[in-house]
Structure 1
Amino acid sequence: MPPTLSDRIVWQDVEGELVLFDLRDEKYHGLNPIASEIWRSIARGEDVDAIVDTLAACHDAPRATVAADVRAFVTQALADGLLEPDDQSR
């Protein structure tokens, strides 16, 4: 299963980019366009491999580079409490 959005996070689309608000610590997080695409994909329930495949194809980018970037985003979002881990990593 993919990571899921934390129920403590409220998010709003602002001109194609997302602004996240963490209700727990009352901090805002701004996502750039690519991070916003990753976030929306996670919100739709897509797993990391599917997100990587889609982004690599849409942006004509090397899959290995995209995979590293997506995994780095997910790792940081998990550390920040923006995402919850999948069932396999609990």
Structure 2
Amino acid sequence: MDFSKKVIFPDSIFAQEVDGEMVLLDMNTENYFGLDSVASDIWKLLQEGKTIGETYEALLEIYEVDPETLRKDLETFIDNLLENRLAFIE
């Protein structure tokens, strides 16, 4: 995955924070997705327009985690967004 790229969210994705977690609704398919607190933090950072690399660096500052574990988890999260057509890479 190219960490210099940005993740872009289609206008058809509606996100709402509920009790510290994000709920996503794909208005095209009417599918709901729930994000835990860590995934919610990733979503928020990506929504700010940060590159994947900038998001990775920000998460390293927020969480005490092995950098390689974070890299794999971030890539998995983004892959899931892409597979569910909740985002695309630009």
State yes or no: 1:19 paired with 2:19.
no
State yes or no: 1:29 paired with 2:33.
yes
Superposed CA RMSD in Å reads 1.0
Indicate the SS of the match to 2:16. Answer: strand
Confirm or deny: 8 A CA contact 1:8 1:22 kept in the other structure. yes
Q: Runs of at least 4 residues of structure 1 off by over 3 A?
A: none
Compute the displacement of 1:76 (Å).
Answer: 0.8
- Residue number in structure 2 paired with 1:43: 47
Residues 25-55 of structure 1, C-alpha deviations (whole Å, 9 max, x = no match): 1011000001101111111001111111111
Indicate the SS of the match to 1:46. Answer: coil
Confirm or deny: 8 A CA contact 1:53 1:63 kept in the other structure. no
- Aligned residue type for 1:45: G
Identity, in percent, stands at: 28
- Residue number in structure 2 paired with 1:55: 59
TM-score, with normalisation over the residues of structure 1? 0.89
Report the number of matched residues.
86
